[in-house]
Structure 1
Amino acid sequence: MARPRIDPVVWQPDRAPHRARQGSGGRPMPPVRLRTLSGQGPEDVAVDSRGRVYTGLADGRIVLVTDDHTETVAETGGRPLGVEVQRDGRLVVCDAVRGLLRVDPITGRLETLVAAGTPVDGAPLRLCNNAAVATDGTIFFSDSSQRFTLAHWKADLLEHSGTGRLLRRDPDGRTGVVRDGLHFANGVALAADESFVVVAETGAYRLIRIWLAGPRAGGVDRLADNLPGFPDNLSRGTDGLLWIALGSPRNTLLDLLSPRHPALRRAVWALPERLQPKPADTAWVQALDVDGRLVHDLQTRVPGFSMVTGVREHRGRVWLGSLHGTAVATFDVPAAD
């Protein structure tokens, strides 16, 4: 597949925090158990009210993960990424090829909510990535890039042109833009009281908070900034915390080249794949409280599992997904300091 041209934008990232150069947090990640799947690329994980775990695979399948096998519940015909559970048990699926979908895991029935390519405020839905579902059925979801497809996600990080968006689909089917100009819009999560929605900007190492209700409604601020790694999917746990999948620590070369002449990043993009910067061999998640204070910082090396792109806490257990893995991982939440 030919690589698209990139037109890098010069920008000055903040100096990476010291944590970006460490291999673990202040305490070790608890023992991690793997559940091998009958497929590859469980990018996200979702857990329903009964504790059943779902994920989407690179071959288009949505699967139920049990102790000893995976059971296919639906096939999207595309590439499912983010998976969320509605109050009625149906799944909202962000598919990088098909768009925003809804799946009934009992019947396998597939419904297209917003098809890929559908104009939303004048620009097409191009890379549907992650979502959060409000109690009234409103769906907030990310459109990561207007420039590149999932196959070339690295190009968006190198270019830093800020074409990602946070979109909103109302229960009546109307769809609009909540926030644009985002640097690879990725994970999405709602506050427990739904007073704000958070979206991860993977390419800017930050979490943006958009206020939906209360005295600050309509305002925007940063819940977390200058993160030590690349934030991917987000989720609100049953513990009330905001969990962040950190796909990899910050890349020193990328931070070094970002404020320099764009030709340097074009040269990096032209290198053979084996010579380009790669995610580190690590599994890393963090959890924040509603004010952005760090509660958990858990990182380790797990043989056979790395590049955490999805995280979900459910009743004291954390589930992890990986864009390139062949298993989902799980561990028990340690007591907070």
Structure 2
Amino acid sequence: MESTRSSSPNPAQGTRSSTWCRDLLITLVCTVAIALLLVQYDDFDAAAYPSEELAKKPVFEVPRVNSHVLHGSEKVGEGQLLGPEDIVYDPKLGVIYTSCSDGWIKRVRLSDSEVEDWVNTGGRPLGLALGNSGEVYVADAYKGVLKITEDGAIEVLTNEAEGIKFGLTDAVTVTKNGILYFTDATWKYELHNCVLDIFEGRPHGRLMSYDPSTKQTKVLARDLYFANGIEISPDQDFVIFCETPMMRCMRYYIQGEKEGSIDVFIDRLVGLPDNIRYDGEGHGEGQYWIAINTEHTYSWDLARKYPYIRKVLAFLEKYQKRPSVEKNAGAIVVDLDGKLVERYYEPELTLVTTGIKIGEHLYLGNLMTSFITRLNLTQYPATPSSLTN
């Protein structure tokens, strides 16, 4: 006769399982408690963002949209362009200049995408501007504002104002009369830890000008929230610059009745803006392209509202690795009055720094890629957003 084993539960086994679950719970609670205690005593001090800014909600409705910009796109200079942050076009030479994380400013020929190592600044070039005589102006995160002549000679124009050195020279533009306007994103932090400036929630940014004829640097506006990309208007009467964590672009008047004043050019953007580019060549026929580093998210909403969340994020940034929540990066297009016209983005795309239209193509710079993304806008245009819903 075949014996059978009892299938009734083993009391000892159940006790061991219960003890294991209890120990795991205690370990998790203790780990979280210790982590929170470490964060609490960390010296990073996050501030509250202005309540009137927290009340604003981003506008996601755009007349025309392309939500899959990587579909049909090309990788220009793949493997040769490390972190191509900004892009500027020289129509006379038929090349674009781009600023790379290895210190190189590289030239890319549009006709065949051939990449040339042009000049290495020895720092980290970010914003670029083409001068009136073929020179290139550079906002270098570590070196300040540079001038590079056509034959590659580098001159440091300015790296401090009012006795305060630039912490993160970010973007630069130049007027027809040769005056440079540029941003220092934060005088407190450097490029390697600049995200802490956004987590801190205090305005350390500055807007400045530099006059080559007098070699004088002026602070035009201070107490800005991470002052980022900058562009001159087609009529040369104002400059537009971005305040990244505020998700807006401001307008500073450089001449006319409003000279010296600031107002909002466009507010409640869909995400965090970086560089801004004008695609026209004359008076009034062009548009502005604003790079969106990442779309506004619910988690960023909470972080802006509660300083302690940003303190936790800063702690993770300094000692471990904070979770990545960036998504839907790309570029938006606005008209000369600051009204939304089009949006180009991709759900998996992050850390886009520049969007610029050259001919029939959109070129996207990015902090993390080793190439520039190029999309033919004739073949892959933005379509009415009602058709995508």
TM-score of the alignment, normalized to the shorter chain, above 0.5:
yes
Q: For residues 225-236 of structure 1, what are the structure 2 equivalents within 5 Å?
A: 225-236=267-278
Does the residue aligned with 2:255 lie in a helix, a strand or coil?
Answer: coil
RMSD of aligned residue pairs (Cα, Å): 2.4
Which residue is 2:164 aligned to? 123
Q: Distance in 1 between matches of 2:382 and 2:299?
A: 36
Cα distance, 1:336–1:220 mapped onto 2, change above 3 Å: farther
| Normalised TM-score (structure 1) | 0.88
Which residue is 1:268 aligned to? 313
Q: For residues 172-187 of structure 1, what are the structure 2 equivalents within 5 Å?
A: 172=213, 173-187=215-229
Which residue is 1:201 aligned to? 243
- Number of aligned residues: 324
Which residue is 2:373 aligned to? 329
Q: Distance in 2 between matches of 1:247 and 1:335?
A: 19
Q: Tell me by how many angstroms 1:90 deviates.
A: 1.1
Matched, 1:47 2:89: yes
Q: For residues 157-306 of structure 1, what are the structure 2 equivalents within 5 Å?
A: 157-172=198-213, 173-238=215-280, 240-260=286-306, 262-271=307-316, 273-280=320-327, 282-301=328-347, 306=350
Does the residue aligned with 1:169 lie in a helix, a strand or coil?
Answer: strand
Q: Tell me by how many angstroms 1:269 deviates.
A: 1.3
Report the structure, 1 or 2, having the larger helix content. Answer: 2
Which residue is 1:90 aligned to? 135
Q: Distance in 2 between matches of 1:29 and 1:87?
A: 36
- Asked if the contact 2:58–2:296 (Cα under 8 Å) also holds between the matched residues in 1, the reply is no
Percent identity over the alignment? 28
**Structure 2 portions without partners, runs of 5+:** 1-41, 385-389
Q: For residues 7-22 of structure 1, what are the structure 2 equivalents within 5 Å?
A: 7-11=45-49, 12=51, 13-17=54-58, 19=60
Q: Tell me by how many angstroms 1:247 deviates.
A: 0.5
Matched, 1:318 2:362: yes
Cα distance, 1:249–1:335 mapped onto 2, change above 3 Å: closer
- Asked if the contact 1:283–1:300 (Cα under 8 Å) also holds between the matched residues in 2, the reply is yes
Q: For residues 29-44 of structure 1, what are the structure 2 equivalents within 5 Å?
A: 31-35=72-76, 36-44=78-86
Matched, 1:114 2:158: yes
- Asked if the contact 1:283–1:308 (Cα under 8 Å) also holds between the matched residues in 2, the reply is yes
Q: Distance in 2 between matches of 1:332 and 1:39?
A: 20
Q: Tell me by how many angstroms 1:157 deviates.
A: 1.1
Q: Tell me by how many angstroms 1:69 deviates.
A: 3.5
Larger Rg: 2
Q: Distance in 2 between matches of 1:336 and 1:76?
A: 41
Does the residue aligned with 2:239 lie in a helix, a strand or coil?
Answer: strand
Does the residue aligned with 1:151 lie in a helix, a strand or coil?
Answer: helix
Q: Tell me by how many angstroms 1:325 deviates.
A: 1.2
- Asked if the contact 2:68–2:344 (Cα under 8 Å) also holds between the matched residues in 1, the reply is yes
Q: Distance in 1 between matches of 2:343 and 2:44?
A: 34
